[in-house]
Chain A
């Protein structure tokens, strides 16, 4: 069946539909990552976005069971690829990508020239668009609302450490975070108390303690993580306010992706929307201030990127931690004295290179 990807400016790409027949609208973005479509598609940061994959052959290893996803459902509004393969081959595959899309009612089209589409987005910036198969739908701008409230967990819960040796308790504010972010903490011996984006642990200490008791974990919080998530950080004011208060506890805080922007805003800095964002698995980020001889650049890490907004102005007391080696944009901030830090990229990867998982160690080491 034929489907169309229609942009607000009227540009239309025709393609073969391989997902749900229900049309969907959103912001059209592209990612250059070559492996890991199940991980990307379930990344809540893609809420409200139609994802174009620049790698042209998709579907090869099917879809694994839910426990391997980054969240319990597909988060992209639609998927655009060049060529879809309906013959997956992998021992973990439970169903085809097409079946998954149909099951979750997400439209998808194969338009051959995804390179032209990518070039359009690159040159003109991310734009609104919609995938129309049978029935037309209205354009929708995800950047005009609080998307975090849609993807954040609804109630608090505890995810216990995988190896319960010297455990630390981390309060994790879920703005639409990825499964592996929590796993990375659990793997390092942390109990993770997952709370909704608008939950303020300082105001609701009692509730928190009840849960922790129930789960049999010690009644102390050692640090905070503000997760990734979709959309414009400025809509997430409640989390910004919470983060501000958390900073007063002087306990270690780690922000990731949206969390980086929220920490920045909480500290009094500013953020901006990027033209077409960074989405891929090959973003080189240079760590500032690494101790090297004159004339030498710092260490450069290859990172997973998925963001449309970035830090434009450092908050007071913070310095640049990481810088994007390609366009010089900010990729992380760190407080000069206190244990507050955040990164724009994804140290939890999935999908992408695992090179910056050490950020979690670094953060946990700050806990006395």
Chain B
């Protein structure tokens, strides 16, 4: 290979379900690996909150959509000689493959580094890949097409029942299913055959184990498996949705290494250079094996029965590889990038041990348990069942030296107020044993707690295995947790022996306390008195065989020593954000990483605490010490007690660390930045309201209620609509706008939230108000620098979902001045030191405050990258009482727009509508000469498309219709057919805009909107709801859902729709300039 000098790296864009932070990790490591070789890097990734889009990484950065059109233009301009496709998820891979197929890469002489494109194409084509595997005698699940019921029966009896029948997507799932016998098969076929010409009969791998291998291979054919992983849930649950354990627990040597050899064989056959993930189904009870059904030919009886199938292969870095990296300490992405450059594995020094090299397979002396984090309940109408496609939005990884320890840690890491395997609330919900067992058959995010509950209710391991397919070994471990806690509770006394035992099984102080009616702090002091303390162990990739210099740490009670000495006053703890979830995502990884890096300037050693395997903050080379640990008070305090650091930073990792401020302060930790008592004054609604009153700062009228009648009276007084929410919320959980008594009653009934224990907060909702953010950093109450950015949408759309513009385009100077004044007063009053964020409402120059967060907000990376001031650096300066004398913003020339990424298509049934509860999973930001250009680039980055076929318009309410008229006229200039439902159509016609009328479902006439969307006649849908009747609500929902399911660009917010229409009518593709970040400076 000729030496490459300039390499284009494709990122994965916004975080979305199925493609999240792991690709910031992999892209960042790849860029580092390239830089070390003196290679110039060009990165295309519109995700501004990532680490990879930092100046200290890529040489040239384009915040542009990762689509063939844009990438081609960047190639034309930058003329790279190589391109990396496998570090930006499926987005980058698909884009790269298209550029290859179009001949663009060849045209510009760009080499694809790493695995040959032909291999990737082969692996992406199910049938060809399956044929390829058959040629090398590797088994895939048998599957044959049948054209008649008779054929289907024949195939099924050859294969053996049960079989899985698939009749294609045309029937919306009908005509597919599992047939356990001839009768069931006939029944399904009868339903399907009138509609389809053939049915696929597949072997149904009921309750097979799912096992994965991460393989790397170099140009010289050295090939190793870095890690194997076992899914706790059986086959059928996507690996991203499953609890995953590394290394495998229930595999014998024969199974482990035979699958390993097969994985290597496949990787070699494809000629992979770099990283590859192979997933297997393994029969837990193989019978007489035949070669044709995955069994290996048995030369003799020294080889045990064995049956497997390859079910999936990813010839690129994946979520699993990020997990494997964190589980083993082996930096897969870094190594894969080196291999793509043609390096030999044995020549790459092991960065972890600094004594060995990377051609080896890590030996673990601990176990890791990954648990996904779901936020399905944040979506209205969403189906909570989990299965073969991803719904989770993040994940955590617990590390321990017993399964129980790692598992219970991971559950706490989810940050959902669960103390461990047992969920007390669920124990007491009155659901009986038989019902529990029935519920267990359906996989949902709650199932892990149903397991422990079932054991509490005395259900047997065998019965639960039958219901869930979870291997009895895992069930026994959970049963063990339950029996130990039951026995302890029964004894009812604290003893050092019991506490040791419980801690070794991963019980929290709080849970131990709960069992004895004591507080967690009481248990903590008992523990400390009896010297029951966790050990600090290194993850050294070699199970202690060689002395390692690694900074990668975890804590365990299954040990009696610590591998290294405390940092003492040199250390500063930085709390990370925990699992990605709706409302807390990669932006807080950016803030924590930047904090860790900034600490170097103060000669401090950064001690990172985080538990999210898809982050850069948990990379081996970011912090001086990395505790891959819980962000619970208990564990932070353990680390604090052990390290005895200079202080702790709680204000950069989002809401989770912020929530710990009070308890850590009371425990005696030195908090860097604003005093937690003042943080509380901002967090506590009553205190904050009083504070605003005291400072004569306006706020929407609000009150808190524990009784429904009082609540009604208040609403009548202030007038509807009102904004309603439980007192304690993160990212708008359970928040709603209610327009009348009925909606209010409905909400409180559904949420059953009004009680003295769970009071409810109601505030006057100001309609048609602008929402504006002010972010900044202060030092001892004096604001050092701040940034104002405005929302495109009116108030009522959660700030995390809103489109944010910087610099603001529509604000009056007076409004700005008023907000700056408020910020000044608040910062001074709370003596803020460090980052903060204020959310304002503005209507007719009238400014009121919605909330104040005394921490870095999610816009910190955005404002930092747009203004040229690193607000995290500034925050760290303020922590160390060293604010720069002068701060000069060097904003970009032009406009930056941050756009949310939604993953509605993944959440089956969810209503894709924007409201006060946050629903987006990620974001991008793009730059432009004006707001339209920047916004359009942003929308194209998150999956939006310029319409080419037809536009559907449905705008509810007379005021909205009038407001949209100008946009409708613009749409008319597109020379595309316009479709509308009755009222909107009439309105448009009345104003001279030709629109074809389509029927709603309720009207039961053809052509209906759904029909046209499904047929692909419509490729832009604007549906601004103002729905009154139940049926209209349902109609609107079905149309929106249909648009999402058919991948049609959809707008439901008036302001955003208007901006989009303006942008697509003003801008032609060539108006979207290919300019790098630097070119805007």
Task: List residues of chain A with CB within 8 A of the CB of B254.
Answer: 68, 350
- Is the CB–CB distance between A54 and B472 below 8 Å? no
A56 to chain B, nearest CB (A): 4
A152, CB-defined interface residue at 8 Å? no
Chain B residue nearest to A180 in the complex (CB): B302
A58 to chain B, nearest CB (A): 11
Task: List residues of chain B with CB within 8 A of the CB of A300.
Answer: 222, 345-346, 359
Provide the bound-state CA to CA distance between A56 and B365, in Å.
6
- Is the CB–CB distance between B543 and A35 below 8 Å? no
A12, CB-defined interface residue at 8 Å? no
Knowing A282-B362, A282-B363, the reply to whether A54 touches B344 (Cβ < 8 A) is no
Task: For chain B, residues 484 to 542, give those with C-beta under 8 angstroms from any C-beta of chain A.
Answer: 504, 535, 537, 542
A114, CB-defined interface residue at 8 Å? yes
Knowing A87-B473, A282-B362, A300-B345, the reply to whether A36 touches B402 (Cβ < 8 A) is no
A98 to chain B, nearest CB (A): 14
A116 to chain B, nearest CB (A): 5
B2 to chain A, nearest CB (A): 14
B40, CB-defined interface residue at 8 Å? no
Provide the bound-state CA to CA distance between A59 and B363, in Å.
18
A27 to chain B, nearest CB (A): 17
- Is the CB–CB distance between B559 and A88 below 8 Å? no
A17, CB-defined interface residue at 8 Å? no
Task: List residues of chain A with CB within 8 A of the CB of B364.
Answer: 34, 55
- Is the CB–CB distance between A83 and B546 below 8 Å? no
> What per-residue 1/0 map shows which CB atoms of B241-261 lie under 8 Å from chain A?
000000111111110111011
Knowing A282-B363, A302-B360, A351-B257, the reply to whether A35 touches B251 (Cβ < 8 A) is yes
- Is the CB–CB distance between B253 and A36 below 8 Å? yes
Chain B residue nearest to A111 in the complex (CB): B560
- Is the CB–CB distance between B359 and A353 below 8 Å? no
B100 to chain A, nearest CB (A): 28
B424, CB-defined interface residue at 8 Å? no
A241, CB-defined interface residue at 8 Å? no
- Is the CB–CB distance between A116 and B285 below 8 Å? no
A355, CB-defined interface residue at 8 Å? yes
A204, CB-defined interface residue at 8 Å? no
B220, CB-defined interface residue at 8 Å? yes
Task: For chain A, residues 177 to 222, give those with C-beta under 8 angstroms from any C-beta of chain B.
Answer: 179-180, 183, 186-187
Task: List residues of chain A with CB within 8 A of the CB of B261.
Answer: 353-355
Provide the bound-state CA to CA distance between A114 and B537, in Å.
12
Task: List residues of chain B with CB within 8 A of the CB of A162.
Answer: 299-300
- Is the CB–CB distance between B558 and A112 below 8 Å? yes
Task: List residues of chain B with CB within 8 A of the CB of A186.
Answer: 299-300
Which of B250, B252, B360, B365 interacts with A55 by CB under 8 Å?
Answer: B365
- Is the CB–CB distance between B257 and A326 below 8 Å? no
Task: For chain A, residues 274 to 300, give those with C-beta under 8 angstroms from any C-beta of chain B.
Answer: 280-284, 286, 292, 296-297, 299-300
- Is the CB–CB distance between B537 and A163 below 8 Å? no
Identify the stretch in A89-97, A131-139, A254-262 within 8 Å (CB) of chain B at 4 or more residues. Answer: A89-97
Provide the bound-state CA to CA distance between A26 and B221, in Å.
41
Which of A180, A187, A292 interacts with B220 by CB under 8 Å?
Answer: A292
Task: List residues of chain A with CB within 8 A of the CB of B821.
Answer: none
A39, CB-defined interface residue at 8 Å? yes
Provide the bound-state CA to CA distance between A216 and B356, in Å.
51
> What per-residue 1/0 map shows which CB atoms of B285-320 lie under 8 Å from chain A?
110000000000001111011000000000000000
Which of B248, B360, B480, B546 interacts with A284 by CB under 8 Å?
Answer: B360
Task: List residues of chain B with CB within 8 A of the CB of A183.
Answer: 300, 302
Chain A residue nearest to B256 in the complex (CB): A35
Task: List residues of chain A with CB within 8 A of the CB of B286.
Answer: 91
Which of B221, B361, B477 interacts with A299 by CB under 8 Å?
Answer: B221
Task: List residues of chain B with CB within 8 A of the CB of A115.
Answer: 365, 537, 543-544, 559, 561, 563
- Is the CB–CB distance between A122 and B346 below 8 Å? no
Task: List residues of chain A with CB within 8 A of the CB of B504.
Answer: 112
A281 to chain B, nearest CB (A): 7
- Is the CB–CB distance between A354 and B253 below 8 Å? no
Chain A contact residues: over half helix, strand or loop, or mixed? loop
- Is the CB–CB distance between B253 and A89 below 8 Å? no
- Is the CB–CB distance between A296 and B220 below 8 Å? yes
> What per-residue 1/0 map shows which CB atoms of B345-381 lie under 8 Å from chain A?
1110000000111011111111100000000000000
B246 to chain A, nearest CB (A): 10
B319 to chain A, nearest CB (A): 22
Provide the bound-state CA to CA distance between A162 and B301, in Å.
10
A349, CB-defined interface residue at 8 Å? yes
- Is the CB–CB distance between A163 and B250 below 8 Å? no
B333 to chain A, nearest CB (A): 21
- By size class, the interface of chain A is 35 or more
Task: List residues of chain B with CB within 8 A of the CB of A114.
Answer: 365
- Is the CB–CB distance between A353 and B361 below 8 Å? yes
Which of A122, A281, A351 interacts with B363 by CB under 8 Å?
Answer: A281
B957, CB-defined interface residue at 8 Å? no
Chain B residue nearest to A87 in the complex (CB): B476
Knowing A56-B401, A350-B253, the reply to whether A33 touches B363 (Cβ < 8 A) is yes
- Is the CB–CB distance between A39 and B253 below 8 Å? yes
A144, CB-defined interface residue at 8 Å? no
Provide the bound-state CA to CA distance between A87 and B563, in Å.
31
A113, CB-defined interface residue at 8 Å? yes
Provide the bound-state CA to CA distance between A335 and B300, in Å.
33
Provide the bound-state CA to CA distance between A238 and B559, in Å.
46
B727 to chain A, nearest CB (A): 43
- Is the CB–CB distance between A32 and B357 below 8 Å? no
Knowing A60-B473, A68-B302, A116-B561, the reply to whether A54 touches B544 (Cβ < 8 A) is yes
Q: Which of B363, B557, B561 has the most CB of A within 10 A?
A: B363
Provide the bound-state CA to CA distance between A34 and B251, in Å.
10
B1036 to chain A, nearest CB (A): 51
- Is the CB–CB distance between A54 and B361 below 8 Å? no
Provide the bound-state CA to CA distance between A318 and B253, in Å.
34
- Is the CB–CB distance between A122 and B285 below 8 Å? no
Task: List residues of chain B with CB within 8 A of the CB of A90.
Answer: 250, 252
Provide the bound-state CA to CA distance between A54 and B264, in Å.
26
Chain B residue nearest to A276 in the complex (CB): B545
- Is the CB–CB distance between A92 and B252 below 8 Å? yes
A41 to chain B, nearest CB (A): 11
> What per-residue 1/0 map shows which CB atoms of A95-122 lie under 8 Å from chain B?
0000000000000000011111011001
Provide the bound-state CA to CA distance between A39 and B256, in Å.
13
- Is the CB–CB distance between A35 and B257 below 8 Å? yes
- Is the CB–CB distance between A326 and B560 below 8 Å? no
Chain B residue nearest to A282 in the complex (CB): B361
Task: List residues of chain B with CB within 8 A of the CB of A32.
Answer: 363, 365, 542-545
Knowing A57-B403, A82-B401, A326-B356, the reply to whether A34 touches B346 (Cβ < 8 A) is no
User: Which 5 interchain pairs have the tightest Cβ spacing?
Assistant: A36-B253, A87-B476, A89-B473, A32-B363, A351-B253
Given contacts A38-B252, A122-B544, 9 further A-B contacts (CB under 8 A): A32-B544, A64-B252, A67-B302, A92-B304, A113-B560, A122-B545, A183-B300, A282-B362, A326-B355
B interface residues (Cβ-Cβ under 8 A, vs A): 220-222, 224, 247-254, 256-258, 260-261, 264, 284-286, 299-302, 304-305, 344-347, 355-357, 359-367, 401-403, 471-473, 476-477, 480, 504, 535, 537, 542-547, 557-561, 563
16 A-B residue contacts at CB 8 Å? Answer: A32-B365, A34-B247, A34-B256, A36-B252, A55-B363, A57-B401, A60-B249, A82-B558, A87-B476, A91-B285, A115-B543, A118-B543, A187-B299, A187-B300, A280-B363, A284-B359
